[in-house]
């Protein structure tokens, strides 16, 4: 069974889940998104802590990738969230710190949020922004929190 870690980085909550290839939720964790600290590294550290906990679970040991969805804007070349009105820091480095720490492919995608309500609550028709190595299907696709 292929499993992945799916992370939803929101302005209020940071959610992480271990999901299988059928998008079945195997384990999950949620904490408030950090809003205080010297830099966006506090958010990256909070994501890493959630990922580490899920990887420590029996089913998590076989995780193949990490997918992070966040409201933009994103810098896909660098794998950063930049200037997001929902995040307390101007830059949050996502892809490289997680890849270095866990040795797994990491994808960063733009998650539609309330701004997409003008589109009937559906994701925008454009393809999601991905960064670096990404699974063919974003890890967070189809996961219901």
Domain contains 145: no
Q: How confident is the model at residue 3 (pLDDT cuts 50, 70, 90)?
A: very high
Q: Report the relative pairing of strands 13-20 and 25-32 from DSSP bridges.
A: antiparallel
Domain contains 129: no
CA-closest candidate to residue 25, choices 36, 15, 33, 38: 15
Domain contains 138: no
For residue 72, what is the domain's CATH number?
A: 3.30.420.40
pLDDT in tens, 76-95: 999 999 999 989 999 999 99
Confidence at residue 129, expressed as pLDDT on a 0 to 100 scale:
38
Domain contains 139: no
Cα gap 125→106, rounded to integer Å: 23
Confidence at residue 113, expressed as pLDDT on a 0 to 100 scale:
62
Domain contains 126: no
**Count of domains in the chain?**
1
Instruction: Examine the pLDDT at 125 and tell me if it is beyond 50.
Output: no
Average pLDDT of the chain, as a whole number: 82
Instruction: Examine the pLDDT at 105 and tell me if it is beyond 90.
Output: yes
Domain contains 141: no
Q: Residue 95 is part of which domain span?
A: 3-119
Angle at which helix 95-102 crosses helix 41-55, to 10 degrees, equals 40
Looking up tokens 């384990």, which residue turns up?
Answer: 27
Domain contains 47: yes
Confidence at residue 101, expressed as pLDDT on a 0 to 100 scale:
97
Q: How confident is the model at residue 131 (pLDDT cuts 50, 70, 90)?
A: very low
Instruction: Examine the pLDDT at 138 and tell me if it is beyond 60.
Output: no
CA–CA distances in Å: residue 71 to residues 3, 22, 62, 95, 109: 24, 24, 28, 15, 8
Instruction: Examine the pLDDT at 134 and tell me if it is beyond 90.
Output: no
Confidence at residue 136, expressed as pLDDT on a 0 to 100 scale:
41
CA-closest candidate to residue 66, choices 2, 145, 138: 138
pLDDT in tens, 10-68: 999 999 999 998 999 999 999 999 999 889 999 999 999 999 999 999 889 889 999 99
Domain contains 113: yes
Instruction: Examine the pLDDT at 97 and tell me if it is beyond 50.
Output: yes
């Amino acid at each position: 069974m292929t499993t992945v870690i799916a992370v939803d980085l929101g302005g209020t909550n940071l959610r992480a889940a271990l999901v299988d290839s059928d998008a079945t939720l195997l384990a999950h964790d949620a904490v408030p998104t950090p809003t205080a600290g010297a830099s966006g590294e506090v958010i990256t550290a909070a994501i890493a802590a959630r990922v580490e906990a899920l990887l420590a679970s029996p089913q998590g040991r076989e995780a193949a990738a990490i997918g992070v969805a966040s409201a933009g804007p994103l810098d896909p070349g660098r794998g950063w969230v930049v200037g997001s009105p929902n995040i307390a820091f101007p830059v949050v480095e996502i892809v490289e710190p997680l890849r270095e720490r866990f040795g797994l492919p990491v994808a960063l995608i733009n998650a539609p949020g309330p701004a997409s309500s003008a589109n009937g609550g559906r994701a925008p028709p454009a393809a999601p922004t991905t960064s670096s190595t990404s699974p063919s299907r974003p890890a967070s696709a189809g996961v219901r929190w």
